[in-house]
Amino acid sequence: MSNSSSTEQTDDFRWDITGFTLTDSDVEAAAPPREAEWIPAVVPGGVHESLIAAGSLAHPYRDFHERDSRWIEERSWWYRSVVDLPDLPEGRAFSLTFTGLDTVATVWIDGAVVAEHASQFRPLSVDLPRTGRTAEILLRFDPPLHGLPQPQGPEETVRRFKEMTGGDREDGQSIGDTVSDDLSLTLRRKAFFSWGWDFAPRIPSIGLTGNVTLEAKPTPKITHVAWESVSIDRDIATCRLTVEAEHLEPEDRLEFRLLAPDGALAVNASLPAGRAVGGGAITVDVEVPHPQLWWTRDLGTPALYRAEVDLLRRENTEDRRELAVGIRTIRLREDPDAEGGRHCEFLLNGQPIFARGANWVPADMLTGSVTSERRAHLLDLAREAGMTMIRVWGGGLYVYEGRRLVTPARS
């Protein structure tokens, strides 16, 4: 099958790349097989999703097909797309960003290796040299555990865990049997539940689990915005705004606006970005008069402000970020109590809160199939059940689409 590709423009200088195709090979092959059969790749998604969509794989959640998919983690998988490059203004070049690479990936552009990557949790950005009107993007995903040594020391921990999870499953195996004896998995930056857990089969996800984006650079760019409540008095709140940016010049500046929950302008400020020339973080404390505090729904209203940050160069807005933010303080109270022990409670805006919550585990073994809408729906269900706190389980994923899993809007 020949490649079909397209770019979907998301703003003036950003395009989503689609049209990837997929095939497999022996482990760490130098190139895809010449007579390989290429199938359409599901992106965002992964190898499993693509094979299921092509009718080549029974869904591993049904019957005992989990066992039938085990071979997938023992092959190398190739993604390919030929991209039509848009025209760019003078002085701009292309960069290519992969928001989800799962997990051991090598990236070629027009036949040259440009990057190697081995973390499920971090995105990857590479320069895309323009040598013509098109560019071929080729990726190889190798088996996640291939070539890793066996660490010394954790054998006893694994043995005890298997004993603790020794309940029987319907297929006659104990739950502990789903946990891998291959201790090299502790050396890979990949969610631990990939290899089986008490709630999960062993179906390690592989492939392009996030969007692939073509961007124009070196336009100054905001890469991250963070908001933190520092202190709250009766009539004023002090909050800390941190903006990370790159490709800055001395005359660049940031325009910051904070809109109250009713849409009224609460704060308006101009910040010189030149103190972080090139790239870096700009941090400033912001005073918010008469703050409307964020509360859990059992104690009040989860009031949300809207923070807007514009990056300007010569009065032109080059980049913009918006995010919902709450003004609230939270601390864990652990001082001695009257019975000789210690308190263990959270204080929200100085008020005790009863933490009713749940443990968030990944919504699907096929991590590239979980949409923002599905995560939002699950968090809404937790809220409707009266929960006030979500604990993100450490054996899963803690970052989705470049953002933290739980934001103030869903807390």
The model's pLDDT over 163-209, given as tens digits with 9 standing for 90+, comes to 655 544 555 454 445 555 677 888 889 998 998 888 888 999 999 99
Tally of CB atoms within 10 A around 54: 14
Amino acid 158: pLDDT: 67
Q: Answer whether residue 411 shows pLDDT above 60.
A: no
Report CA torsion sign: 199, 48, 100, 310.
Answer: negative
Amino acid 92: pLDDT: 80
Interatomic CA distance for residues 226 and 282, integer angstroms: 10
Q: Residue 332: enclosing H or E segment and its boundaries?
A: strand 330-333
Kindly report the backbone phi and psi dihedral angles of residue 194, in degrees, each rounded to the nearest multiple of 5, phi listed first: -55, -30
Amino acid 409: pLDDT: 36
User: Nearest-CA neighbor of 162 among 196, 210, 120, 135?
Assistant: 196
Interatomic CA distance for residues 38 and 21, integer angstroms: 6
Q: Residue written as tokens 């199938």?
A: 39
Domains contained in the chain, CATH given? 219-325 (2.60.40.10), 330-404 (no CATH)
Q: Answer whether residue 303 shows pLDDT above 60.
A: yes
Q: Answer whether residue 399 shows pLDDT above 70.
A: no
For 352-359, what is the mean pLDDT?
Answer: 90
Amino acid 4: pLDDT: 47
Cis peptide before 103 (omega within 30 of 0): yes
Q: Answer whether residue 140 shows pLDDT above 70.
A: yes
Query: 302: which DSSP letter?
Result: B
Mean pLDDT, the chain, integer: 86
Phi-psi domain of 350 (left: phi exceeds 0; alpha: psi -120 through 50; beta: other): left
Per-residue confidence band for 322, with pLDDT thresholds at 50, 70 and 90: very high
Q: Answer whether residue 8 shows pLDDT above 80.
A: no
Interatomic CA distance for residues 220 and 252, integer angstroms: 9
Q: Model-level pTM? A: 0.83
For 63-76, what is the mean pLDDT?
Answer: 93
Q: Answer whether residue 408 shows pLDDT above 50.
A: no
Interatomic CA distance for residues 214 and 345, integer angstroms: 47
pLDDT: is 242 or 154 the higher one? Answer: 242
For 254-281, what is the mean pLDDT?
Answer: 88
